[in-house]
Structure 1
Amino acid sequence: MSGPTDNLAPSEPKLLVSLATYNEAGNIEPLIETIREFAPDCSILVIDDNSPDGTGKIADDLAAKDPRIHVLHRPGKLGLGTAMLEAIGYAVKNQYDYLLNLDADFSHPPRFIPALVAGMSDYDVMIGSRYIPGGGVEGGFNLKRKLMSSGINWYARLLLGLSSKDNSGAFRCYRVSKLAQIDLGKVRSRGYSFQEEILYWCKKVGCRIGETPILFENRRSGVSKINMKEARSALWILLRLGVSRVFG
């Protein structure tokens, strides 16, 4: 005899989309609206580092109208890596199935979200990749950005034993149950090297890592926060991780 739940369709994975923000007042509202087009049932977590331009206030106003939007306010600019650690902790605590992160400046087009989520049927981490067939960068990087990006990706593959092509991009989806297995107290990165380092720790807990092509686009508003100081810090942290990997 059939039970009352035999014909129920499987529930959709519980998805949290995280946005780390600093001075993104011109982007945050249209970005959230666009995310809703491609992930209508997701929750959205905005982690704002006390943006002087009022990004946090705009996020609060949006959250007041939509209970699926949550805002974490931090006292100052504490770094992308620490924002991602906050997002992971929030996702684990609230028992989400997937955590999907993208930049808050439209450089990661939300239209690629469905492909990232679909890939989770076979993988534990899905990377939105600029460097596999079908992926790319709108207008191309200038020479400085190209050297920084290609260099740090090669460096990460060499030192951390990663086989994925795009290890420095932040457009990714993670299986939260695997993130929960990582000792986050071991994560050293506080800035942009977090992207490479978290893949290293994901690999250590047995994550299957896949990639799907994306087009990285130019930001619509505001200015980039990437600088040479961050790049040098990332190289140093990855070197230390690589040495630890080799010598235990």
Structure 2
Amino acid sequence: MGEPSREVLVVLPTYNERATLPDVLSQLLRAVPEAHVLVVDDRSPDGTGLLADRLSEADPRIRVHHRAGKLGLGTAYIAGFRVGIAEGYRLIVEMDADGSHLPEELPGLLDAARECGGAAIGARWIAGGRIVGWPRYRRWISRTGTRVARIALRSELHDLTSGFRAIEASWLTRLDLDSLDSEGYGFQVETACELERLGCPVVEVPITFVERTGGRSKMTGGIVLEALWNVLRRGWRLRFGGMN
């Protein structure tokens, strides 16, 4: 086990991820031994939080932040950002705890973020990126959502909804975290576009996205509608509401 450092903090939001969390943590810390991991658990009914506590007792690189209930993906990441910034980490990583993001691809994301001095996003919809195990309708939702967001928000990115990212903490300090109000997956679109707007260098790195093998997907119609509404709302403000 590598010596813990303040170089990398991986934020793992969890809600009923008991089936996948141990393997994800094991593979993650094998791929990036110097990383710290912050599990942000929303009082999972399946006992994910308690399992995370046991894993943290066995490995000082892991710690757990327990929240009062299911408060949403966006607020979980904001909580992790605040910890990473306050404690002086250089790079903060967003990553799913369900096994859909391959830990062995994280070193490449970290290297890309360091090289560009900004953010590296793991992209599925660029050359070299791919998806394993998704039905056609999920592909259609993701690709259509990204196209709509790119047009509405004048973004140059190809995978705005990707949740596998490494970001220089110095850029996160420039975000108005209190103004980020997407609770679901729209948070990824919101933060990517805000970083672009601030002038943050953003590179996209091809990844393989694997459909979860355990637990249940958190994607719902309500989450899709929230993301769409926030994209259209921000697009309107961008054009007519005084956003730069």
TM-score, normalized by length of structure 1?
0.92
Tell me how far apart the structure 2 counterparts of residues 161 and 39 of structure 1 sit (CA, whole Å).
34
Of 111, 125, 128, 2:122 maps to 128
Quote the residue 1:9 is aligned against. none
Is the 1:123–1:210 Cα contact (8 Å) retained in structure 2?
no
Q: Secondary structure at the match of 2:109?
A: helix
Quote the residue 2:111 is aligned against. 118
Deviation at 1:13, TM superposition (A): 6.9
The CA deviation string for residues 90-115 of structure 1, in whole angstroms up to 9 with x for no partner, is 11111100011111011001010011
Deviation at 1:194, TM superposition (A): 0.2
Q: Secondary structure at the match of 1:220?
A: coil
2:190 equivalent to 1:197: yes
Q: Secondary structure at the match of 1:45?
A: strand
The CA deviation string for residues 36-68 of structure 1, in whole angstroms up to 9 with x for no partner, is 111001000000000011100011111112222
- Percent same amino acid at aligned positions? 37
Q: What aligned pairs does 1:215-226 form with structure 2 within 5 A after superposition?
A: 215-226=208-219
Q: What aligned pairs does 1:19-168 form with structure 2 within 5 A after superposition?
A: 19-120=12-113, 121-139=115-133, 141-168=134-161
Structure 1: unaligned runs, 5 residues or longer = 1-11
Q: Secondary structure at the match of 1:75?
A: coil
Quote the residue 1:239 is aligned against. 232
Of 60-69 and 166-175, the range deviating more from structure 2: 60-69
Q: Secondary structure at the match of 2:120?
A: strand
Q: Secondary structure at the match of 1:155?
A: helix
Quote the residue 2:176 is aligned against. 183
Q: Secondary structure at the match of 1:159?
A: helix
Tell me how far apart the structure 2 counterparts of residues 145 and 107 of structure 1 sit (CA, whole Å).
14
| Structure whose CA Rg is larger | 1
Structure 2: unaligned runs, 5 residues or longer = none
Is the 1:191–1:230 Cα contact (8 Å) retained in structure 2?
yes
Tell me how far apart the structure 2 counterparts of residues 68 and 208 of structure 1 sit (CA, whole Å).
29
Tell me how far apart the structure 2 counterparts of residues 79 and 194 of structure 1 sit (CA, whole Å).
10
Deviation at 1:16, TM superposition (A): 0.4
CA RMSD across the alignment: 1.2
Deviation at 1:234, TM superposition (A): 0.7
Q: Secondary structure at the match of 2:116?
A: coil
Deviation at 1:184, TM superposition (A): 1.0
Deviation at 1:143, TM superposition (A): 2.6
Counterpart AA for 2:198: V
Counterpart AA for 1:44: V
Deviation at 1:227, TM superposition (A): 1.0
Deviation at 1:14, TM superposition (A): 0.5
Matched residues, number = 236
Runs of 4+ aligned structure 1 residues displaced above 2 Å come to none
Deviation at 1:146, TM superposition (A): 1.7
Counterpart AA for 1:54: G
Tell me how far apart the structure 1 counterparts of residues 205 and 148 of structure 2 sit (CA, whole Å).
21
Counterpart AA for 1:179: L
Tell me how far apart the structure 2 counterparts of residues 195 and 145 of structure 1 sit (CA, whole Å).
17
Quote the residue 1:210 is aligned against. 203
CA 1:24–1:212: 2 relative to 1, 3 Å: same
Is the 1:100–1:172 Cα contact (8 Å) retained in structure 2?
yes
